[in-house]
């Protein structure tokens, strides 16, 4: 019989809140994404938001790099470690993109959250508002969002983003990228031996 803690963890994962290091995290991410992608979608865009200069803000670009060139017919990446979408480049770069008809946009960013979900990956339908936790006003983006909860929601912790564990970011990015890859592979009927990532 499951105890209350285990029941709460299972309920949270069903709601799209996934511990970053759970061994089945990529499958939970895939399942949630697959349920959110509308039938008839012809192309998926991944928008990796963040900086390549700040550990705790590098999640989005890291995922973008892991997925780059993986499904060229069905996936486009905007924002990676080489060309990140940070607070100064997000608006001009995204405004240059014409999202194709019947496309679906997945926005990825690291965020601050409540104590109970720190170090979780949150997948949900609807757009993401970059920089909200730090008081920045940037336009919302995405048909769905994947957020890595890096720190507790406390503006005084902003400096801690510089010293966030790279292992945490790496593990989160790998699990998110694998989950997206699995969802695309399933949705567009790629063979099961198609590589999950080009970088491992």
* pLDDT for the residue numbered 3: 52
**What is the overall mean pLDDT for the chain?**
88
- Take residue 188 and report the two structure tokens written for it: 């567009």
Query: What is the pTM assigned to this prediction?
Result: 0.89
Q: Is 119 part of a structural domain of the chain?
A: yes
* pLDDT for the residue numbered 129: 86
| pLDDT tens digits for range 99-125 | 989 999 999 999 988 888 999 999 999
Q: What is the mean pLDDT of residues 145-161?
A: 81
Q: Is 176 part of a structural domain of the chain?
A: yes
pLDDT class of 2 with cuts at 50, 70, 90? very low
Q: Is 192 part of a structural domain of the chain?
A: no
Alpha-carbon torsion (180, 183, 189, 192), positive or negative: positive
| pLDDT tens digits for range 10-65 | 545 555 899 999 999 999 999 999 999 999 999 999 999 999 999 999 999 999 99
Q: Is 56 part of a structural domain of the chain?
A: yes
For residue 132, pLDDT over 70 is answered with: no
Residue-wise burial string across 47-86, b where 16 or more C-beta atoms lie within 10 A, e elsewhere? bbbbbbebbbbbbbbbbbbbbbebbeebbbbbbbbeebbb
User: In terms of residue numbers, what domain contains 54?
Assistant: 4-187
Q: Is 113 part of a structural domain of the chain?
A: yes
Q: Is 199 part of a structural domain of the chain?
A: no
Q: What's the CATH code of the domain at 118?
A: 3.40.50
CA distance 128 to 34: 18
Q: Is 177 part of a structural domain of the chain?
A: yes
Q: Is 196 part of a structural domain of the chain?
A: no
| Domain count of the fold of the chain | 1
pLDDT class of 184 with cuts at 50, 70, 90? very high
């Amino acid at each position: 019989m499951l105890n209350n803690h285990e029941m709460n963890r299972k309920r949270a994962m069903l709601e799209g809140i996934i511990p970053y290091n759970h061994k089945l995290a990529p499958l939970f991410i895939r399942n949630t994404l697959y349920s959110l992608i509308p039938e008839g979608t012809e192309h998926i865009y991944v928008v990796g938001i963040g900086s390549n200069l700040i550990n705790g803000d590098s999640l989005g670009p890291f995922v973008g790099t892991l997925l780059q060139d993986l499904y060229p017919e069905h996936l486009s990446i905007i924002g990676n470690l080489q060309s990140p979408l940070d607070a100064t480049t997000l608006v001009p770069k995204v405004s240059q993109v014409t999202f194709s008809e019947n496309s679906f946009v997945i926005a990825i960013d690291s965020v601050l959250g409540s104590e109970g979900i720190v170090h979780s990956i949150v997948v949900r339908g609807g757009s993401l508002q970059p920089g909200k936790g730090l008081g920045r006003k940037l336009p919302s983006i995405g048909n769905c969002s994947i957020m890595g909860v890096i720190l507790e929601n406390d503006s005084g912790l902003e400096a801690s983003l510089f010293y966030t564990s790279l292992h945490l970011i790496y593990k989160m990015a790998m699990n998110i990228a694998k989950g997206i890859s699995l969802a695309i592979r399933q949705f567009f009927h790629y063979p099961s031996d198609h590589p999950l990532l080009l970088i491992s």
